[in-house]
Structure formats: C-alpha cells, structure tokens
C-alpha cells in the first residue's frame, strides 16, 4: 500500500470513529447523519461482482472505485448495518486511558467497556496499584 492510500484510509477511519463517538455519547441521530455523509462521499452502493476466478459476490463500492474509497464504502456499510440494528447499543469506545479503539461488544451480558482484555487488565492493575499505594500498611 502506498503512503497516499494509507493516509486516505486513515482519513476515512477518523470519520467513522467520529460516528462511533456520537454513538458512545448517546447521540444516535448525529451518528447516523455523519455516517450518511461518509456513505455518500464513499459512493457506497451494493454491487454484485466476480473477479479473480471467484463466483459472484457482494461488494459495497463501484467496480471502478479507488482503493481507499472502496474500503471506506465497505466499512461504512458495515457500520450502517450496526447503527440500524439492535447491536448499536453494544458499540462503544474503549475506556482505557490512551486507547482510542472502538469495539462491538459480543459478550453474553453486553457490559463490555474495553476493546480487549489487555486494556481491561492494564486498567484493573493500575487501579489495584493505586489502591495499594493509598492503603496504610497494616
């Protein structure tokens, strides 16, 4: 991948993260409005295609779309499916300091607050250390 394509993909990703921020803040209307802009700008359109010896399958971008716009269209379509369904309540941003990842909670009880167990463990370990430092030795 070239640097310009990577930079363009990063721009699309930032726009979609802003959508998740709206969801995380409880503003689904703003999230959907922003995502609709991304879908329009990426020219997302369902298209049946076949290539590379594969059978017919679904893409969400024009056959002649540039690489970054094609990926953005597919990612935005996937995000739209989440926003338009019950899973939207399980979409969130990691609560760990210095982590900027979004996640979709697939746990049974839907109480996830971190993108991974690594982030969760770091936060819990830091809280444990902080409690231990403030607790008098006894």
Taking alpha carbons only, the member of 36, 37, 27 closest to residue 80 is 36
Give the residue range(s) of CATH 1.10.3300.10 domains in the chain: 1-89
Name the residue with tokens 């990926």.
71
The span from the CA of 23 to the CA of 14, in Å, is: 14
Terminal CA-to-CA distance of the chain, rounded, Å?
59
The span from the CA of 118 to the CA of 109, in Å, is: 19
Per-residue pLDDT tens listing for the chain (138 residues)? 789 999 999 999 999 999 999 999 999 999 999 999 999 999 999 999 998 999 999 999 988 999 999 999 999 999 999 999 999 999 999 999 999 999 999 989 989 999 999 999 999 999 999 998 887 765
Provide the whole-model pTM: 0.83
Q: Report the run of H or E that residue 93 belongs to, with start and end.
A: strand 91-93
Q: Does domain 1-89 have CATH number 3.40.50.150?
A: no
């Amino acid at each position: 991948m070239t640097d310009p394509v990577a930079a363009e993909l990063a721009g699309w990703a930032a726009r979609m993260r802003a959508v998740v921020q709206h969801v995380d803040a409880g503003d689904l209307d703003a999230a959907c409005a922003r995502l609709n802009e991304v879908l329009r700008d990426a020219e997302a359109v369902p298209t049946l295609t076949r290539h590379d010896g594969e059978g017919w399958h679904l893409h969400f971008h024009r056959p002649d779309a540039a690489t970054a716009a094609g990926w953005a269209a597919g990612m935005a379509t996937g995000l739209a499916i989440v926003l338009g369904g019950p899973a939207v309540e399980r979409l969130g941003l990691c609560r760990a300091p210095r982590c900027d990842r979004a996640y979709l909670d697939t746990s049974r009880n839907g109480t996830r607050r971190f993108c991974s167990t690594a982030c969760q463990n770091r936060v819990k370990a830091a809280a444990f250390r902080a409690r231990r430092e403030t607790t008098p030795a006894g």
